[in-house]
Structure 1
Amino acid sequence: MKVLVTGANGQVGSEVCRIFETGSKKIYGYGREQLDFTNQKVCQRVIQDIVPDAIIHCGAYTAVDMAESEADLAFKINAMGTRNLAVEAEKVKAKFCYISTDYVFDGKSDVPYTEYDNTNPQTVYGKSKRAGEIMTQTLCSRYFIVRTSWVYGRTGKNFVKTMLNLGREQSVLKVVDDQFGSPTSASDLARFLQELIETECYGIYHASNSGICTWHQFAEAIFKETGMTDVKVLPCKTDEFLRPAQRPQYSVLDSMAIRINNLGELGPWEKSLARFLKEFKNES
């Protein structure tokens, strides 16, 4: 099975390439420099040359705050870029897997969002990712849309790395305690994608580690697991950290589609975090 991966240098894409390479699949991992998917002719040339069986589209514009002032660029990458890949995937009859986000919801719920709840993005980033979903749904006949949340991994910037760095520099930190979500291990997500693309169970999926916490609780777990118990984490409100883009107050995703399609769930976030921190320490 030939699998083309976009965003191969990013947080999710790098894990997809790493984990898929241990199996029987032939991986074609492309970063921005090798595959500018905002250029339709480039997409056409690369995809028709490889003729992949599946495309996992991890590449994206993810600068949530900057998107508020760079709407054209966010939509060019997340919507038009996805369109280009979707069109070419359909031509070669490839399965197309689009990685999306909890930001397609408004965050005003008090129960986990299912795959079939109405979307209502509140930010430019969220709207651009939802536009990518629509491109995928309307242009592909063999598609998977996989929404995830609070992702962390070996590469790129993420909350876990930020907390560890700040904890080494400061003894007291303030972290918001009124936003709820589910931290997700990029390696767990990649393993799920490996299973998913072998199937023909097309549609929308919510793929996050199970369990709910706030950013403050997440931070406390990071320091406890790494033995950095001298770092004091103070709870605070979202209003104390004003940002250009609104953060969803509640972005917990219910993995209904994973359950009803009898696929492997990602497991509790606490266990995945502990495993990641152990591996990350050994690699550092």
Structure 2
Amino acid sequence: MNKAGLKEGEKLNIVVTGAGGQLGHDVIQCFQREKGVSITGFTRLEWDVTDSIHTTRMLDQFRPDVVIHCASFTRVDESESNPGLAYQVNVDASRQLAQECGRRNIRLVYISTDYVFDGKNQEGYTEYDFPNPINQYGRTKRLGETWVQKYCPHHLILRTSWLYGAHGHNFVQTILRKAKQKETLSVVTDQVGSPTYTGHLAKQMKVLLQTDAKGIFHTANTGSCSWYQFAKTILDFARINVPIQAILSSQLNRKARRPASSILLSARMMAEGYQLMPHWKEGLREFFAQGREGKKA
């Protein structure tokens, strides 16, 4: 790992917010195997990022070299009905954490989303495209990005999309559960994106932290598909034969609009010589190969 500023024999001290979630869990597992690293994860009960006093105390107590900020309010529809809570977690908490990390010269990794884009570009989005979120969740995550950029010089903003892993609730787990219960499956076919396996994102994060990488990177599994295509592939991998009905987003009557196309293209990783993340089907294949389907957080 990058040990700039550390004395010989010292370990890079990393702390993780939101460690009880699917990404936080895999980040802990990934970095625990790394020599020269000490990593400590905190669930939202152990570190309430919306409590500014608590955040200050945690940073003073653990004195990290790196903070990986996985804590986030990710419930897209609930963000519309409870915009204040989404703002409190994704904007206010991120702003304060960025300020405190900036004061202490701590490197901050902020996890962002494909939903900062409006979805009008069917070819996908690079780090150089201008964000234009169309729902409250996307707006709060974009505001979080801007505060991190403003207050923390040593920052990494990792935009990712359609996350799934073994721990926590996600699309893959939902499809498998409903299929096994013989429920009728209806999945939208007019939203396209890049499904991303949390294990692969954690590994890519480790690669970037081994360098002096800074700024915004798109870190999603390569390739793209619709939610309908993703669901069919999940069932194919699971060897479950259940019919799926293709529907339009308008038939779901959800509170929040979703971008029609939120494919993340990793232009910076290509330009700067980093290896791109594996194809999204490879992520799904690894998920199943490790026997992770059906687990709960």
Question: 164-173 or 65-74: which moved more?
Answer: 164-173
Query: Cα distance 1:71–1:282, how it changes in 2: closer, same or farther (>3 A)?
Result: closer
Task: State whether residues 171 and 232 of structure 1, in contact with CA within 8 Å, keep that contact through their aligned partners in structure 2.
Answer: no
- Aligned residue for 1:263? 274
Does residue 115 in structure 1 map to residue 127 in structure 2? yes
Contact 2:112 2:145 in 1 (8 A): yes
Q: For residues 62 and 182 of structure 2, what CA distance do their matches in structure 1 show?
A: 49
Q: Which residue of 2 aligns with 1:277?
A: 288
Q: Deviations over 1:90-109 (max 9, x none)?
A: 12211111000011001111
**Alignment partner for residue 130 of structure 1, among 142, 158, 163?**
142
Q: 1:189 to 1:281 in 2, by over 3 A?
A: closer
Counterpart of 2:18 in structure 1 is 7
Shift of 1:264: 2.7
In structure 2, how many angstroms separate the alpha carbons of the residues matched to 1:195 and 1:210? 16
For the residues of structure 2 that align with 1:238 and 1:34, how far apart are their CA atoms? 37
The partner residue of 2:98 within 86, 97, 121 is: 86
What corresponds to 2:4 in structure 1? none
| Aligned equivalent of 2:48 | 36
8 Å contact kept, 1:95–1:197: no
Residue matched to 1:65: 77
Contact 1:39–1:84, Cα closer than 8 Å, also in 2: no
For residues 75 and 211 of structure 1, the distance between their equivalents in structure 2, rounded to whole angstroms, comes to: 31
CA distance in 1, matches of 2:169, 2:105: 34
The residue number in structure 2 matching 1:17 is: 28
How far the C-alpha of 1:126 sits from its partner, in A, is 0.6
> Residues of 1 paired with 2:270 and 2:108: CA distance?
21
Q: C-alpha displacement at 1:172, in angstroms?
A: 4.2
* Percent of matched pairs sharing the same residue: 37
Pairwise CA distance, 1:123: 0.7
Once residues 282 and 234 of structure 1 are traced to their aligned partners in structure 2, the CA distance between those partners, rounded to angstroms, is 22
> Does 1:235 find its partner at 2:251?
no
Instruction: Tell me how far 1:137 sits from its aligned partner.
Output: 0.5
2:193 aligned to 167, 174, 181, which one?
181
- Is the partner of 2:76 in helix, strand or coil? coil
Structure 1 range deviating more: 82-91 or 94-103: 82-91
Task: Flag structure 1 segments of 5+ consecutive residues without an equivalent.
Answer: none
Amino acid paired to 1:243: R
1:117-168 deviations in Å (ceiling 9; x for gaps): 1111111111110110011000011111100000000111101000000101
Q: Cα gap change, 1:9/1:281 in structure 2, threshold over 3 Å: closer, same or farther?
A: closer
> Taking structure 2 as the reference length, what is the TM-score of the superposition?
0.92
For the pair 1:199 / 2:211, whether they are aligned, the reply is yes
SS at match of 2:290: helix
Counterpart-to-counterpart distance in 2, 1:63 and 1:236: 22
AA matched with 1:59:
A
Distance 2:83 2:291 in 1: 35
Query: What is the CA–CA distance in structure 2 between the aligned matches of 1:40 and 1:182, rounded to whole Å?
Result: 34
SS in structure 2 of the partner of residue 145 of structure 1: strand
- The 3-state SS of whatever aligns with 1:280 is coil
**What TM-score do the two structures reach when normalised by structure 1?**
0.97
> What's the counterpart of residue 254 of structure 1?
265
Shift of 1:283: 8.4
Q: Which amino acid aligns with 2:263?
A: V
Q: Distance in 2 between matches of 1:92 and 1:262?
A: 30
Q: Is the 8 A contact 2:47 2:54 kept in 1?
A: yes
Could you list the runs of 4 or more consecutive aligned residues of structure 1 that deviate by over 2 angstroms after TM superposition?
280-284
The count of residues paired between Structure 1 and Structure 2 equals 283
Deviation, 1:68, is 0.5
| Alpha-carbon separation, structure 2, partners of 1:75 and 1:159 | 24
Deviation, 1:248, is 1.1
Q: Which runs of 5+ in 2 are unaligned?
A: 1-11
1:173-219 CA distances to partner (integer Å, 9 max, x unpaired)?
Answer: 22111110010000000001111122212010001101110011101
SS at 2:274's partner residue?
Answer: coil
